[in-house]
Structure 1
Amino acid sequence: MARFILRLSLSLIMCVAPLTSTQAQSTMFDLTGPTLTVTVTRGETTLPLAQVPALQPGDKLTLRANLPEDQSARYLLIVGFLRGATNPPPKDWFVEAETWKPKKSTLSVEIPEGAEQAIAFLAPETGGGRNAVISGVRGKPGVFLRATQDLYQASLDRARLETFIAGIAALDEAAPERLGQVSPVLANSLGIKLDAECLKHPRAQQAACLTQNRERMVLQINRGATLTETLTGAPADVAYRIAATREAGAGYYSPYIGLARDLAKLFGAFRTAQYQYLPALAIGRGDETRLQLNEAPSFQNPRSVLVVPMPPIGPAMPPVLRPRAKGMMCLNRPDLELPIEGAALFYATSYAGDLSLRIRTEDGGTTDLPLSPDPARGAFVVTAPGDRKPTERVSEAMLHGRWGFDDFEGPSVHVQTVAPASWKAEQTNVVVGREQPLVLRGEGAACIEKVELRDAAGALRGLTWKANSAQDVTVTLPLEDMAPGSLTLLVSHYGAENPTVLPLKALREASRLDGFLLHAGDKAGVLSGARLDQVAHLQIGEARFTPGHLARAKGGDRLELASEAPITAQPGEAQARVTMRDGRTANVRATIATARPSAVVVDRNVSMPAVPDALALELPEDIVPPAARLTFSLRYAKGGIGAQDAIEIATADGTASHRLSVADGELQRIGTDVAVATIEPQALLGAGAVGEIRFRPSRGDVSGDWQPLVRIVRLPAVERVACPSEGGDCRLEGRDLFVIAAIADDALFARPVTVPDGFVGTSLSLPRPQGDSLYLRLHDAPESVVRLRLADRP
């Protein structure tokens, strides 16, 4: 199977290979050919071909080639009709005009019934040109049918590309600073691949960069399999892989890959010693159709016959349009535009006409707002605003227009009109001292132009707002620095002469006192409520509590208050009196909860693992190496220790913690008030746990205060201290010496040797010790002193 695919791939490449030779057809279509004046008459209406997306049987075609007066080569203008890939057309379906004869230069023909495709040729007059063209078409009608369809589609691709290039050029001339903003919209509107790297270039180079490598820019839209694939029977995935190779043309003019492959097959089948077929793209602009060629015509054998595509014969189906706006749009906006997707041919061709937004009101009235497609905005823009102040409710708004000869109706869009008198504020009293959202309810949210706040002094401040729905808007009031008093909200609307005026009253928020919680025996408690920054002090009996830390949360404030001595009241309910800063007083319920658990360290025992080949270190009681085993005991007060008691052990920064409980057996009760626990700090809290380790007792949901337990300290491994026999400095050698901050030969560090920051060596130089010990200060415990014994020192 693999060998079959390989042979098939090579065969297709050989079929397309002539496209890349010096004699091959180019895929660039960068040569401008002659122009044609073509009109289509249907009934009483006549349109230029540029405005006709599809033909129908019975249409009258009128064609004339616009050749220069001194044209020396004589051309026949031939128009023929095809009726299917397997049904050759009759000879009388072909008519011609002799372009060099003024009275016979114009061709008029009616499209016959049963015709499925029109095709035109400009053939050199050599005595047998007409018969050769007719014979070729009738001999292989399917080839010409598909080639014409591909040429027509490629002409639409070329129209999109030219519209993009013209848009970039106009933008570069009028407002080059907007290239970065507009070019992505223009490219998306027209189905063009944008090179975003170009927008990183200096501004003067952006336009040229955006329009270079044009062969790679046009994206395919609704393109099917190519004729070559149909004729050869190649699987689609194999053919597409071949089309992506440089030999097949990828990287030169991507939209025309299929077209180039089709033409290679076509020319291979029909090229004779006398004639060769030369494809032309037909670009309609105004009343004329311009031909774009991919190769200069030949006027010697084999002479070139220009193949000119015509629109398909059948129903004129406009592209499917989709509104891109998710919410409502305001009909009263002076810059009203309708964001539309799928409108590339509306932007790039003249097929669409008389576009409007047709508005129907509930009373049955109809208003048309003229629209113009603008690819630089990616939208249909209202071109004649006129009087857009309808007072009736809109029942429907729909795109309407003409596509060729036929009327069409596009998608419906959601629109609103102004209804300023309907807006009401959800509340008229607002609180100063903080940012506050305010909900407005009414109609016409999409028509709000701006919202402003006017204070008592008359100063205006613009506000931000968000439309939650068509009848619901949330406005953000910045009242942090606003004084209490009268305020006015002004809501301005598109199309309304005067704003909606909504009076507001700004008040200072009153304090709310919810309750005071205090544990028996504590000096501090927590008052909950709102606006507690106004509290001066709180009193329970003789105990006076003054404010401390204030925490604000969505549900309210929490204010810590502390007294000079613990309260002596028993657990239960009590009455507290709160005095505010302005002198007002209020009573609040105080809850005196049971005493929080408390415990103190009674004893510690540290079991240190032996360090091979290292001198002994004597550590202070509160220092523990990471790999040591610590056993400690605690004495509980205020009720002793019960089955629900536990202790939490954590690093000082709270990054690591562990809970030891009586229920789990990690905290063992000894009698009624003593507990013993054994831990390995490194295994319990992780290798990164260095520094102070704290503990706090807990009982249920109530926890006691944090207290220091031990300090985890990394230790060096000092292997020896060697001193010369006749004076001079000694050498201290070992591992992990970087944890040492300073070394001295006395515990008071009168003559310290400081270890440099970042030191990673294995030996240090220091003066000869006066005794049999050295003393170390470590980075992890700079206030503690570690003794190093120099037993049996050399």
Structure 2
Amino acid sequence: MTAATLLPRLLRSCAGAALILAPLMSSPTQAADPAPFDLPGPGLHITVTRSGVTLPIGQVPDLEAGDKLVIRADLPEDQRIRFLLVSAFLSGATNPPPNKWIESAETWKRKDKDRLLSLTVPEGAKQMVLFLVPETGGAASTIGDAVKGKPGEFVRATQSINQASLDRSRLNAFIAAIRAQENSHPEFLKNLAPVLARSLAIKLNADCLAKVVEFQAACLLEDRETLVLADVHSSSVAETLAGAPTDLALQLSYTREGGFGYYSPYIAVVRDIARVFGAFSSPQFNYLPALSLRDGERVSLVLNSAPSFAKPKSVLVASMPAIGTDSPPRLRAVGDAPMCGANSNLVLPVEGAPLIYSTDYARNMVLRVGATDVPVQARAERGGYVFAQPLNQSGLGGTVEGRLQGFWGYQPFAGPSFTLQFPTGEAWKTGADATSLVTGRDNKLILTGSAPSCVSSVTMRVGDGTPQPVAYTTAGDKGLALTLPLKDARSGDVTLEIRQIGQAEPAAVTLRAYRQASKVSELTVHAGDRAAQLTGQRLDQVAAIQLGGLSLKPDGLTRDGDIDRLQLVGEGEPLKPGDLTARVSLSDGRTLSLPVTVRAPRIGITLLDKSVQAKDAAARQRLTAPADTLLPDSARLIFSVRASGGSLSRNDALEIAGPSGQPLRLVAGPNLQLQGQDVLVATLDPAALGPSGFGALRVRLVRDGEVSDWQPLTTLARLPKVDGVECKREACTLSGESLFLIESIAATPAFEKPVSVPQGYTGGVVKVPVPQGGKLYLKLRDAPDQVVVLNAG
């Protein structure tokens, strides 16, 4: 193996927390091999004072005009190279800073006034950058001239370094947690790693968790440069620094042409750093980026290249937080179900702000419950906030609300609310269904009481038998839904014991289970059908039914109060209208007779025609869907059906249903009209189906409580709003809203080399292939088997 091939492999395998690009190679389409940020550099100590409150820099996500900063270099006692500490405030890419915005300190001096920087953020400043320069005559003025000569380059550098530093903090937190688990209990890594990755927005290689325990950690930390996912809030922090978007970096992160796969905004931002720094190096100085890892007052600088103290000397460039108000992240609760406040191991699950786990920006966080503030701390491996000290439950009972709050830097920070429950010791109550427990099958039962979320276990004992566990789920704020395993039980007393967190003794509920004989009431069947429905009680004992030449078997049992409904499917000759006697065979060998009237044939429908009509005919339609198989949510469907088995009337209705949700019923009126005795013409507005009405649609006829079989109608698909496609050279982007509705995009109908849109993508721009013939082809998540044409002109 040659040195040229060995060196990149060694660099990629270094123990640095992530890789960052070296300066770009001469070809604009090819990147040099990356070098890891694994060289510890000098440190800084920084405090910020605002309105009389002093915080360490690690707790300050943003700076404001008037803030007072104290900055000193943290160098060893035997430091032999003298460093000049230079600060510069910037006011945007096109506005060079005045001389008074650039200050310096001689770090080797003994007096604080000489070796410290005591600064006040000036009005109008938008960015701040720090330099550590090897002491050279006139170095401060040279740096000042460089900043004033190319302020835009330093603006972009500050933006990129800050973004990379924030991303690096998340990656470091992930690596540290994986290593800690590997050293303590590696067997739990399979459960911990997905939670860590979700908390910190880190890409998780699920295949690693299928490996043996000894190899899982090493596998999870491979290819670290591709692990960091985009974090909307940390991106916005970096954008504030320059007042310019980071769209370029984020676009690179979602394309393989960016060099490191689909999941690397960290590397995309770092590549930008390499390009920017190559623009303003000089024969006297060579500028080196330094990631700023902030912990309290200390800022540890990490380098990806060894500094030079011979010309050109290396100038270390470090970023400072944005100047201007940084809004706290939109922290969201994961789910809204009540949680047990009596649980000392309670986790308040949150999402939307990975930086709460990797930085100290969120400080003094508490959960306010009533008038009590309980300190909490963010734990990435738990997926949310946990109690830092036990909650005083005195005076708390039933259902209460708790809210996360604290500070984001200097700003008050209000997080989401959580519904907490505390047991009160009150008795559990049963509903009316408790009087109809029957043996021979599992029974559903609802209990109501305080704090069902605090229930830790439920057991059942029949008579003086052995206790056995009972499956349960919470049902609303006070309900507990149980499934009692009475299939093999005998009749008699059934004792339930409910254990709750915070209660020393279990609560007991005693019920009575009865043996119920089968009782058949009615068999509903239509001429020509091979299916029927039997109603009665204890129909789980029914094994088969013989009706004329039709043999029926059970096909699903439901229960409504005390009434069982058994669906049946059959084989044999279809029946004709008339009176017959059914022979019902039970599972215990007994038989019952039941008189049956075979009803007239059920009415049925067939689809005659359909057409799609845009809601707004004047609106320009960029997307063209196949009208015969796809209904866009921006259009209406007009269709007609023909009835068989009887003529139609104004009292008939059509029901339309999607994969989920309640069916939509169309009745006689503007949207459902009779053409004649056997044809209906209907108009469907997709909005009437509600938010869950997308995917494959079905239609059936409803008449006097009876329904026809479902017939396929069309596929309803939500369309994204496409603003346009813009191409520069060979790179094209599609902009619009709701782009997460797109599954993939291709330049040909055959979908050769398609570009996939990531799951849950919330951005407004995606990279697309170059249109051919002014067209692109889309597959939507609602209809992945259909192709939609985009007019890209």
Q: TM-score range by the shorter chain?
A: 0.5 to 0.7
Q: Answer yes or no: is the 8 Å Cα contact 1:390–1:417 preserved in 2.
A: no
Structure 1 residue aligned with 2:124: 114
SS of aligned partner of 1:486: strand
How has the CA–CA distance of structure 1 residues 241 and 493 changed in structure 2, closer, same or farther, with 3 Å as cutoff?
Answer: closer
**1:187 equivalent in alignment to 2:192:** no
Aligned match of 1:137: 147
Q: TM-score, normalised by structure 2?
A: 0.60
Cα distance in 1 between the residues matched to 2:540 and 2:269? 76
Structure 2 counterpart SS, 1:114? coil
Output one character per residue of 1:376-405: Cα deviation in whole Å (capped at 9) or x when no partner. 121111221232354356553211112112
Equivalent residue for 2:663?
A: none
Name whichever of 132-141 and 494-503 sits farther off.
494-503
Contact 2:402 2:419 survives alignment (8 Å): yes
Deviations 1:499-532 (A, max 9, x none): 3322212222255364899xxxxxxxx9985458
The answer for the alignment partner of 2:497 in structure 1 is 490
Where 1:299 maps in the other structure, the secondary structure is coil
Partner of 2:315: 305
- Equivalent in the alignment of 1:354: 364
**Partner residue of 2:272?**
261
Higher mean displacement: 392-401 or 70-79: 392-401
Letter in 2 for 1:498: E
**Is 2:416 the partner of 1:411?**
yes
Question: Residue 122 of structure 1: CA displacement?
Answer: 0.3
1:563 aligned residue: none
User: Is residue 2:155 matched to residue 1:148?
Assistant: no
Q: 2 CA distance for matches of 1:53 and 1:202?
A: 41
Within the candidate set 53, 57, 73, 1:49 is matched to 57
Q: 2:712: which partner in 1? A: none
Aligned equivalents of 2:250 and 2:199: distance in 1? 29
Q: Does the 8 Å CA contact 1:355/1:401 hold for their aligned counterparts?
A: yes
How far off is 1:179 after superposition? 1.5
| CA–CA separation in structure 2 for the residues paired with 1:286 and 1:501 | 53
Quick one: distance in 2 between partners of 1:286 and 1:101? 25
- The answer to whether structure 1 residue 340 and structure 2 residue 350 are counterparts is yes
Tell me how far apart the structure 2 counterparts of residues 18 and 463 of structure 1 sit (CA, whole Å): 69
Assess if the C-alpha contact under 8 Å between 2:405 and 2:413 holds in 1. Answer: yes
Q: Which residue of 2 aligns with 1:86?
A: 94
Pick closer, same or farther for the CA change 1:238–1:501 going to 2, 3 Å.
closer
Structure 1 residue 317: Cα displacement: 2.0
Amino acid corresponding to residue 463 of structure 1 in structure 2: V
CA apart distance, 1:135: 0.9
Q: Does 1:371 align with 2:376?
A: yes
Quote the residue 2:513 is aligned against. Answer: 506
Query: What's the CA shift for 1:282?
Result: 0.4
Question: Which of residues 27, 36, 61 in structure 1 aligns to 2:69?
Answer: 61
Shift of 1:473: 2.3
Structure 1 position 443, deviation (Å) = 3.9
Name 1:123's counterpart in structure 2.
133
Q: What is the rounded CA distance, in whole Å, between the counterparts of 1:549 and 1:264 in structure 2?
A: 73
Distance in 2 of aligned mates of 1:178 and 1:433: 41
Q: How far did residue 435 of structure 1 move?
A: 1.2
**Closer, same or farther in 2 for the Cα pair 1:273/1:440, shift >3 Å?**
same
- For 2:266, give the aligned amino acid: P
In 2, the alpha carbon distance for the partners of 1:256 and 1:552 equals 56
Q: Which amino acid aligns with 1:391?
A: L
Deviates more, 1:18-27 or 1:194-203: 18-27
Task: Please give the per-residue CA displacement for 1:71-103, whole angstroms capped at 9, x wherever unaligned.
Answer: 221110112211222222211122221111122
Task: Output the aligned Cα RMSD.
Answer: 4.5
Q: Which runs of 5+ in 2 are unaligned?
A: 1-20, 525-532, 543-551, 567-577, 599-793
Q: Which moved more, 1:258-267 or 1:15-24?
A: 15-24
Q: Which residue of structure 2 lines up, in the alignment, with residue 31 of structure 1?
A: 39
Query: Which moved further from structure 2: 388-397 or 411-420?
Result: 388-397
Q: Give the distance between the partners of 2:153 and 2:177, measured in 1 at CA.
A: 36
Counterpart mapping for 1:276-291 below 5 A: 276-291=286-301
SS of alignment partner, residue 171 of structure 1: helix
| Alpha-carbon distance change, 534 to 55 in structure 1, aligned in 2, over 3 angstroms | closer
Shift of 1:284: 0.8
One-letter identity of the residue aligned with 1:47: L
Residue pair 1:57, 1:112 contacting (<8 A) in 2 also = yes
Instruction: Give 1:435's aligned amino acid.
Output: D
Distance, in Å, in 2 between the alignment partners of 1:549 and 1:212 is 56
Instruction: Assess if the C-alpha contact under 8 Å between 2:159 and 2:238 holds in 1.
Output: no
Tell me the secondary structure at the aligned position of residue 426 of structure 2: strand
Distance 1:65 1:285 in 2: 15
Aligned twin of 2:431: 426
How far apart are 1:477 and its partner, in Å? 0.9
Instruction: Classify the secondary structure of the residue corresponding to 1:432.
Output: coil
Instruction: Using the TM superposition, give the Cα deviation of residue 297 of structure 1 relative to its aligned residue in structure 2, in angstroms.
Output: 0.6
- Code of the residue aligned with 1:456 in structure 2: it is G
Please give the alpha-carbon distance, in whole angstroms, between the structure 1 residues aligned to 2:534 and 2:290: 86
Partner AA of 2:452 in structure 1: A
Q: Distance in 1 between matches of 2:293 and 2:479?
A: 50
**Alpha-carbon spacing, 1:322–1:591, altered in 2? closer, same or farther (3 Å):** closer
Query: Would you say the 8 A contact 2:520–2:534 is kept in 1?
Result: yes
Kept after mapping to 2: 8 A contact 1:52/1:311? yes
When residues 174 and 72 of structure 1 are mapped into structure 2, their CA distance, relative to the original with a 3 A threshold, is same
d(CA) in 2 for partners of 1:532, 1:264: 76
**2:43–2:298 contact (8 Å) kept in structure 1:** yes
SS at match of 1:35: strand
Q: Distance in 2 between the 1:552 and 1:221 partners?
A: 48
Structure 1 residue 410, shift from structure 2 partner = 1.0
Q: Secondary structure at the match of 1:373?
A: strand
3-state DSSP of counterpart to 1:438? strand
Partners of 1:147 and 1:259 within 8 A in 2: no
1:234 CA displacement = 14
Identify if the C-alpha distance between structure 1 residues 176 and 551 changes in structure 2 by more than 3 Å, giving closer, same or farther.
closer
1:338 partner SS: strand
Cα contact 1:28–1:252 (8 A) shared by 2: no
Going from structure 1 to structure 2, the CA distance change for 1:251 and 1:124 (only over 3 Å counts) comes to: farther
Task: Tell me the SS of whatever aligns to 2:278.
Answer: helix
Distance 1:247 1:456, change over 3 A: closer
Amino acid at match of 1:199: L
Q: Secondary structure at the match of 2:344?
A: coil
1:528–1:339 CA distance, 2 compared to 1 (3 A): closer
Between the aligned residues of both structures, percent identity stands at 38
Distance 2:349 2:245 in 1: 41
Q: 1:119 to 1:235 in 2, by over 3 A?
A: closer
How far is the alpha carbon of 1:236 from its aligned partner? 7.2
- Taking the aligned partners of 2:597 and 2:309, their CA distance within structure 1 comes to 109
Task: Provide the rounded CA distance (Å) in 2 between the counterparts of 1:251 and 1:531.
Answer: 57
Q: Whole-Å Cα distance in 1 between the matches of residues 309 and 218 of structure 2?
A: 36
User: C-alpha distance in 1, partners of 2:254/2:597?
Assistant: 82
SS in 1 for 2:310: coil
- SS of the equivalent of 1:180 reads helix
Query: Does the CA contact (< 8 Å) of 1:515 and 1:589 recur in 2?
Result: no
Contact 1:573 1:589 (8 Å CA) reproduced: no
What secondary structure, in the 3-state scheme, does the structure 1 residue paired with 2:77 have?
coil
Aligned 8 A contact 1:278 1:305 in 2 = yes
Question: What are the Cα deviations for residues 145-186 of structure 1, in whole angstroms up to 9, with x where unaligned?
Answer: 221121111100111111111010001011111112211221
Q: Which structure would you say has the larger Rg?
A: 1
Change (3 A) 1:486 1:226: closer
The residue identity in structure 2 corresponding to 1:406 is: Q
- Compared CA separation, residues 276 and 591, structure 1 to 2 (3 A): closer
CA contact (8 A) 1:28 1:215 kept: no
Deviations, residues 193-244 of structure 1 (Å, cap 9, x unaligned): 12223223332122112112211211232348999xx99x999789956995
Question: Following the alignment from structure 2 to structure 1, what is the Cα–Cα distance between the partners of residues 535 and 199?
Answer: 58
